[in-house]
Chains A and B, each alone.
Chain A
Amino acid sequence: MIEYSGLLSLILTIVIGIGFGILLQKGRFCFTSALRDYIAFKDTRVLYGLLIGIITMMLGTSIAYSLGVSNSHFWISNYGLSNIIGGFVFGIGMVYGGGCASGTLYRAGEGYVHYWLMLISACAGYVIFASLFSIFFLPYFFTPLQIFEGFSLIESLGQISVLVPILIILSCVLYLKKKQQLNLITNISKLNISSISINNLKSAWDAKIVGFGMGIFATLWFIVWGTLSVTGPQAKWVGLTYSNIIGIESLQGNIYWNNVIFSGGNFSISLDMIMLLFLILGSFISAYFSGDFKIRMVKKNRVQNAIIGGMLMGFGSRMAPGCNISNTFSGLAFLSVSGFVTSLGLVLGVYITTRWMFRKVGCAI
């Protein structure tokens, strides 16, 4: 059943998956934290790492693209209102549940029952969305909700796309120099390399180094497979499992499973699905050797957070389409319009939910 273009691709997939798991775990890297903790108390630890990751991926993928990687490796969604709605719902879910699509995965590897529950709830969200799709969403999903054809500046510029990230970095430096705020650049680029140490396996890694590593691995993944994404391949796992329960014919008869998730009705295990499993494994290995692994039971009064948060994330990521990784990471790195529009909805959702959850103690922004 396994389809891969060769043994090398499979090996690279395993290495990249484990690499992502280790990076996310060691950096305590989380998109929810990057946005929520900045809104709540102006914590920039993960946010700077995220920015470095996006610009590294932009530079990396544009170089790979100009060296001959096919433009079919870009995932560029059509866009419209669905992105705002989906991103908004996803943003609410990730703050309420306490983790984004990638955060949920790597914490599942650290032994959190809370995030296992959230993951299962997100999967339930996919099934519900797919079941309701032909009745409720199909009549207006593609029009009027997704009216504009997807566009990515990096993809459309071809060979010269590599100039874009260089120009962005240069103009940021020049702008800050003019504003006499170069210390911001120094702060951002001050990497704590000594945080990565063989002697002290327990130590956490600088989130900015982890962001840089994420950008490099996302570029490798772009060369091997395509666009880095989490909820897409997750939905494929759900579809395959679901087809074993209710029969493959039922899924082939459902336009959402057959045409959107498994495009062209190709119901088989693909490399992106394998990568996700090794991401969880990588996080487990990293947590185990860092002394961070523990089976943590979910608190009774937080079960609702995991279930509601997970379902909102599952639903939102199908609606947008895409999660924080495919939009707020890959989408922004490709300078894709759908990435920006979804991220806008996501930030709005995060902002409102953070203000609500921190209502007793107040927010910085």
Chain B
Amino acid sequence: MILVTEIEISDEEVKQLEKKAKIINMEGEVCPYPQIIAREQIQKIENDIIIIETDHVMATKAVPQSVFEYISKYSVWKSGSGQYKIVLWKK
């Protein structure tokens, strides 16, 4: 099992990354669908950076692990009101 490293991210950095990233909206989905959708999508997307918008707390841990073989690192941005943006950097 390879543990993918989580790195810190600021509000400004997320805004910058959103310009070039492929954004997937998973709001409302609960386990295990975020993991399934992430695995399904990551092979099709050509962008190097993927941002997943979700409100599922568990997804912030489980989604990066579900695609660990495709990514080099990830970040989780938290709104503070139950919204998250998971940034995945593809290998």
- Of A42-50, A130-138, A235-243, A318-326, the one contacting chain B is A42-50
CA distance A45 to B61 in the complex (A): 9
Which of B31, B33, B55 contacts A294 (CB under 8 A)?
A: B55
Task: Determine if A294 and B61 form an interchain contact, defined as CB atoms under 8 angstroms apart.
Answer: no
User: Which B residues lie within 8 Å of A125 (CB)?
Assistant: none
Expressed in whole angstroms, the minimum distance between the Cβ of B62 and any Cβ of chain A is 6
Asked if A43 meets B65 with Cβ closer than 8 Å, knowing A291-B80, A292-B82, the reply is yes
Task: Determine if B29 and A299 form an interchain contact, defined as CB atoms under 8 angstroms apart.
Answer: yes
Asked if A358 meets B82 with Cβ closer than 8 Å, knowing A112-B30, A299-B29, the reply is no
Which of B28, B36, B56, B83 contacts A297 (CB under 8 A)?
A: B28
Expressed in whole angstroms, the minimum distance between the Cβ of B16 and any Cβ of chain A is 21
Task: Determine if B36 and A360 form an interchain contact, defined as CB atoms under 8 angstroms apart.
Answer: yes
CA distance A302 to B36 in the complex (A): 14
User: Which A residues lie within 8 Å of B35 (CB)?
Assistant: 37, 40-41
In the complex formed, the residue of B with least CB distance to A32 is B31
B66 at the interface (CB under 8 A from A): yes
A28 at the interface (CB under 8 A from B): yes
Task: Determine if B33 and A302 form an interchain contact, defined as CB atoms under 8 angstroms apart.
Answer: yes
In the complex formed, the residue of B with least CB distance to A203 is B78
Expressed in whole angstroms, the minimum distance between the Cβ of B44 and any Cβ of chain A is 12
Contact with B along A199-225 (1 / 0, CB 8 A): 000101000000000000000000000
B58 at the interface (CB under 8 A from A): yes
CA distance A30 to B33 in the complex (A): 15
Name the interface size band of chain A. 35 or more
Task: Determine if A302 and B32 form an interchain contact, defined as CB atoms under 8 angstroms apart.
Answer: no
CA distance A112 to B1 in the complex (A): 31
CA distance A155 to B39 in the complex (A): 45
Name the interface size band of chain B. 20 to 34
Contact with B along A327-365 (1 / 0, CB 8 A): 000000000000000000000000000100110111000
In the complex formed, the residue of B with least CB distance to A201 is B80
CA distance A28 to B31 in the complex (A): 12
Taking CB atoms and an 8 Å cut-off, the chain A residues in 293-331 that contact chain B are 293-294, 296-299, 302, 305
In the complex formed, the residue of A with least CB distance to B84 is A292
Which of A33, A45, A111 contacts B82 (CB under 8 A)?
A: A111
Which of A33, A41, A296 contacts B55 (CB under 8 A)?
A: A296
CA distance A33 to B60 in the complex (A): 13
B40 at the interface (CB under 8 A from A): yes
CA distance A107 to B61 in the complex (A): 15
B68 at the interface (CB under 8 A from A): yes
CA distance A98 to B28 in the complex (A): 13
Task: Determine if A358 and B62 form an interchain contact, defined as CB atoms under 8 angstroms apart.
Answer: no
User: Which A residues lie within 8 Å of B58 (CB)?
Assistant: 28, 30, 33
B10 at the interface (CB under 8 A from A): no
Taking CB atoms and an 8 Å cut-off, the chain B residues in 20-39 that contact chain A are 28-33, 35-36, 39
Contact with A along B35-51 (1 / 0, CB 8 A): 11001100000000000
Task: Determine if B36 and A361 form an interchain contact, defined as CB atoms under 8 angstroms apart.
Answer: yes
Which of A40, A204, A360 contacts B60 (CB under 8 A)?
A: A204
In the complex formed, the residue of B with least CB distance to A361 is B39
Asked if A202 meets B82 with Cβ closer than 8 Å, knowing A33-B62, A43-B62, A292-B57, the reply is no
User: Which A residues lie within 8 Å of B66 (CB)?
Assistant: 37, 40-41, 43
Task: Determine if A202 and B78 form an interchain contact, defined as CB atoms under 8 angstroms apart.
Answer: yes
Expressed in whole angstroms, the minimum distance between the Cβ of B41 and any Cβ of chain A is 10
Task: Determine if A358 and B55 form an interchain contact, defined as CB atoms under 8 angstroms apart.
Answer: no
User: Which B residues lie within 8 Å of A360 (CB)?
Assistant: 36, 40
Q: Which 6 A-B pairs have the closest CB atoms?
A: A294-B82, A291-B80, A361-B39, A98-B31, A43-B65, A299-B28
Given contacts A41-B65, A299-B29, 4 further A-B contacts (CB under 8 A): A43-B66, A99-B30, A110-B57, A111-B82
